[in-house]
Amino acid sequence: MAKVKIQGHASGTGILTVTAPNTSTDRTITLPDATGELLSVAGGTMTGNIVGGDTTISAVNLKDVGVTTNAIGSIGGGTQDIDLTAGNSVSGTVDTSTTTFTFSNPTASDELCTFSLILTNGGSQTVNFPASVDWAGGTAPTLTTAGVDILVFATIDGGTIWHGFAAALDSKTPS
């Protein structure tokens, strides 16, 4: 027999605890979160969006993980902000005029925040990175005029200092 415990809160939200005997039959529980999104657990499978709300989750093993890509597309010069709330994988194509990148919304200080930038034709125009980027050897890499470069950036102080490095310059499919 399952035991169910429901505790109400003034906000109208509640906590539901279900204890069921160990059986080979899946149990399905679907609950709305504070935004009305549904979180379902069925036999150990979770579906729906999970928003951690800046909560620490520990003892987690990740498998088959995808990172959301912020596909900027054509970068036509001027200032191009890389907003990390849009994804920690960023792609874009430099095509006209000087582009100056800015980085916004990294995680808080004391947390590692990284993102990759897959940049096509970065060397075809002048590309500037924030002064807060420290490059290996103190100099930004020379980007490929007609091709793909993969750059990676990391910070542990909320973006005060970004460490940048070229993961691959003129990346190509093997022939």
Residue 150, pLDDT score: 98
Q: Is residue 93 part of a domain?
A: yes
User: Are residues 108 and 145 located together in one domain of the fold?
Assistant: yes
Least confident of 9-13, 26-30, 38-42, 143-147: 9-13
Average predicted confidence (pLDDT) for the chain: 82
Is residue 3 a contact partner of residue 18, using CB atoms and an 8 Å limit? yes
Is pLDDT above 70 for 169? Answer: yes
Residue 23, pLDDT score: 55
The residues pairing with 128 across neighbouring beta strands, listed in sequence order, are 100
Residue type, 160: T
Q: Is residue 107 part of a domain?
A: yes
Q: Is residue 64 part of a domain?
A: no
Of 122, 113, 120, nearest to 158 (Cα)? 113
Is pLDDT above 50 for 9? Answer: no
Q: Is residue 58 part of a domain?
A: no
Q: Is residue 150 part of a domain?
A: yes
User: Are residues 32 and 103 located together in one domain of the fold?
Assistant: no
User: Are residues 40 and 76 located together in one domain of the fold?
Assistant: no
Q: What number of other Cβ atoms are within 10 A of residue 132's Cβ?
A: 16
User: Are residues 99 and 40 located together in one domain of the fold?
Assistant: no
User: Are residues 26 and 82 located together in one domain of the fold?
Assistant: no
Report the pLDDT averaged over residues 146-160: 97
| Domain span at 150 | 69-171
User: Are residues 137 and 102 located together in one domain of the fold?
Assistant: yes
Is pLDDT above 50 for 51? Answer: yes
The pLDDT confidence band at residue 138, using thresholds 50, 70 and 90, is very high
Among positive and negative, which fits the CA dihedral 107, 108, 112, 116?
A: positive
User: Are residues 96 and 43 located together in one domain of the fold?
Assistant: no
Q: Is residue 56 part of a domain?
A: no
Q: What number of other Cβ atoms are within 10 A of residue 126's Cβ?
A: 13
User: Are residues 22 and 87 located together in one domain of the fold?
Assistant: no
For 62-89, how does the pLDDT look when each residue is reduced to its tens digit (9 = 90+)? Answer: 888 888 999 999 998 899 999 999 999 9
> Based on the structure, what is the number of domains in the chain?
2
Is pLDDT above 50 for 4? Answer: no
Question: What's the pTM value of the predicted model, to 2 decimals?
Answer: 0.71
Q: Is residue 147 part of a domain?
A: yes
Q: Which of 51-55, 75-79, 163-167 has the highest mean pLDDT?
A: 163-167
User: Are residues 79 and 161 located together in one domain of the fold?
Assistant: yes
For 80-122, how does the pLDDT look when each residue is reduced to its tens digit (9 = 90+)? Answer: 999 999 999 999 999 989 999 999 999 988 899 999 999 999 9
